[in-house]
């Protein structure tokens, strides 16, 4: 469902991103992640790819989703496009409301997004999406 978006997201990340994202902590949904585990209850901290990439390398405390979104967007678009929810969703870092018809479906959609990021991570470096799933 989200393979093409995740592939776009992977294309804008630096080469060492896989080593800095812990699949056991990966959770793309803000409301699904136990923020107490981060040591920081601020909004924008979750177990998503971007929060993990913004983590403190010494303490492994998760970073800010929005801060890393700004960094990634600046690398991807040097003309200065301001990252927003649509850009994040287009790159598999978040969802848009259209991805889940009701509020009850939101958690399901974020779990699916998380599962597909897991698939992308396990597919290895340079993986391209293929019909029906990720290639190895």
Q: What mean pLDDT do residues 80-106 have?
A: 87
- Evaluate whether residue 131 is within a structural domain: no
Number of folded domains that form the chain? 1
- Evaluate whether residue 133 is within a structural domain: no
- Evaluate whether residue 117 is within a structural domain: yes
Domain that holds residue 25: 3-125
Structure confidence at residue 124 as a pLDDT band (50, 70, 90)? low
Torsion sign across C-alpha atoms 125, 128, 83, 109: negative
pLDDT at 29: 84
By C-alpha distance, which of 74, 31, 43, 68 is closest to 53? 68
- Evaluate whether residue 130 is within a structural domain: no
pLDDT at 129: 38
The 10s digit of each residue's pLDDT in 17-66 is: 888 898 888 999 865 545 555 444 444 457 899 989 988 878 777 788 88
Is a pLDDT exceeding 50 seen at residue 86? yes
- Evaluate whether residue 84 is within a structural domain: yes
Is a pLDDT exceeding 90 seen at residue 84? no
Residues near 23 by beta carbon (within 8 Å), at least 6 away in sequence: 118, 121, 122
- Evaluate whether residue 8 is within a structural domain: yes
Give residue for tokens 């901290």. 45
Percent of the chain with pLDDT over 90: 32
- Evaluate whether residue 135 is within a structural domain: no
- Evaluate whether residue 61 is within a structural domain: yes
Is a pLDDT exceeding 50 seen at residue 134? no
CA 104/CA 79 separation, integer angstroms: 38
């Amino acid at each position: 469902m989200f393979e093409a978006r995740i592939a776009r997201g992977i294309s804008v990340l630096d080469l060492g991103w896989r080593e800095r994202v812990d699949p056991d902590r990966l959770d793309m949904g803000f409301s699904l992640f136990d923020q107490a585990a981060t040591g920081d209850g601020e909004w924008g901290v979750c177990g998503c790819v971007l929060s993990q990439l913004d983590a403190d390398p010494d303490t492994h405390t998760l970073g800010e989703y929005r801060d890393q979104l700004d960094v990634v967007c600046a690398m991807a678009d040097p003309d200065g496009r301001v990252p927003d929810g649509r850009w994040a969703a287009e790159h598999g870092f978040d969802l848009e409301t259209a991805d889940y018809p009701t509020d009850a479906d939101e958690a399901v959609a974020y779990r699916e997004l998380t599962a597909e990021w897991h698939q992308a991570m396990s597919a290895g470096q340079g993986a391209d999406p293929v019909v029906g799933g990720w290639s190895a």
